[in-house]
Amino acid sequence: MNCYRQAVVFGALGLAMGADLPAVDFEQLDEAARAFAQRDDVQALVEDNRPQLAKAYPLVIRDYFIRSANTDPLPEPRPTQVAKCARHYEMTWLQRRYVWPVTEDGTPDWRSIYIQALDHYLGFCLRQSQR
């Protein structure tokens, strides 16, 4: 499944439920996810062929906000909020025994993880912080 379809499947990054959140350009999102997957620091976030989701989460959020700084009306995320969301994201995966996305060769699919982490942040964390 390509990143565009995956983003649609995952609820268009949570934006369908939050009218006050910005629209997402899925082509730019796919490009950002591909670039993220190629980063050297991301490849180092794998231990025993398992992605370190809580460590990757802040990198995803930082990458997204750097890329969209001139077009996204959302406020800069607070580090404490991102850390809390990262723990929640990873615990959700572990508690529900989700299988993280993998590529055809069995390695973590960082493109998909990028989109899912961003979906969690925009669709869950921002809504929680607005309450």
- Tens-digit pLDDT profile for residues 15-56: 434 445 556 677 888 899 999 999 988 889 999 888 999 999
Residues 90 and 70: their CA atoms lie apart, in Å, by 29
Residues 125 and 64: their CA atoms lie apart, in Å, by 15
Over residues 54-110, the pLDDT tens digits come to 999 999 999 988 887 666 666 778 889 999 999 999 998 888 877 788 889 888 999
Tokens of 116: 């899912």
Q: State the pTM of this model.
A: 0.78
